[in-house]
Amino acid sequence: MEKSVAQAGFELARFIEQHPRLWVITGAGVSTDSGIPDYRDANGQWKRPPPVQHGDFMASLSVRQRYWARALVGFKALREAQISGAHQALAALEAMGFVELLVTQNVDRLHQRAGSKRVIDLHGRADLVKCMTCHYQMMRHAMHSEMARMNPAFAVLNATHAPDGDADLETDFSTFRVLDCPRCGGILKPDVVYYGDVVPAERRQAAQAGLNKADAVLAVGTSLMVFSGYRFCRDAHAMGLPIASLSLGVTRADTLLSHQWRAPLTPVLTHAVKRLTLGQRALDTHGLPSSQNRQGASRS
């Protein structure tokens, strides 16, 4: 399955030309070049202990103390992350008319910063915090600033960054003061779907509606081990849609794939975009708008 960048990029470009309305799903691999660590290795196994469970976060003050103290250190990775070449390439594909919808399992909002507009944040967004009682909202940076003021001893600590704004920090967290909702005193939680929680129905339905309009699925930088993402590949397979994967390792959907490239994301995507751009220019020089050509092909 491992191929050269040029060969994988050429094959990916052909796949996109043949299926010009893509439903794209992305995962942590898209953001690793942005300095955000991922959760799993090439075999789909955990690199570190699994992230916090929704039920534990809601039920235990000590879990929330540990979470927010570590986030005070680790969220810098998300706050300072820059868009990667993979983000830019996927935004370029949308601008060229090849993306029906991009569904990301990431919570870093880097796709939007790169210019992608047809995006669903399947698992929410880490830069927003919500009260679980009254639904009050505040930006994550404002909450961190206030908790840094409340916990000066923790604010100066350093540790290795971990996925999704976490940090590999282990200490006594019992003195950490957690900020509660300023409106009602309820529990503040990042607007993120934790393990043990469920994707909001309207978000899942919007992703499904996009899938119903698509010609094919392209999974980029994801092992699809989490069911909330894998379910769409299972549905696409039942619909008879081709499913392609570009990643460095195995995926949960390997048996469903029609195309698979185990290769570095940014170089392959960039190569494919260049080939597609050249193809569009060739069509334009012959007087046939490339957008008309793709629309005709998608209806055939």
Angular region, 165: left φ>0, alpha ψ -120 to 50, beta rest: left
Q: Is 131 annotated as a binding residue?
A: yes
Distance CA 135, CA 103 (A): 24
Closest CA to 106 of 222, 216, 262, 265: 222
- Name the active-site residue from 123, 144, 161, 271: 123
Label the pairing between strands 124-131 and 188-192.
antiparallel
Q: In what order do the strands lie in the sheet with 124-131?
A: 137-139, 124-131, 188-192
- How far is the CA of 126 from the CAs of 26, 51, 143, in angstroms? 16, 14, 12
Contact indicator for 177, 151 with CB cutoff of 8 Å: yes
123 in active site: yes
Distance CA 115, CA 117 (A): 6
- The answer for residues whose C-beta is within 8 angstroms of residue 118's C-beta and 6 or more apart is 94, 99, 100, 101, 102, 210
Q: Is 181 annotated as a binding residue?
A: yes
Query: To which H or E segment does residue 125 belong?
Result: strand 124-131
What residues pair up with 103 in beta bridges, in sequence order? 25, 120
Residue 239's identity, in one-letter code, is M
Distance CA 24, CA 214 (A): 9
Closest CA to 176 of 209, 203, 153, 201: 153
Annotated binding residues for Zn(2+), as ranges?
131, 134, 181, 184
- Tell me the catalytic residues: 123
Annotated binding residues, as ranges?
131, 134, 181, 184
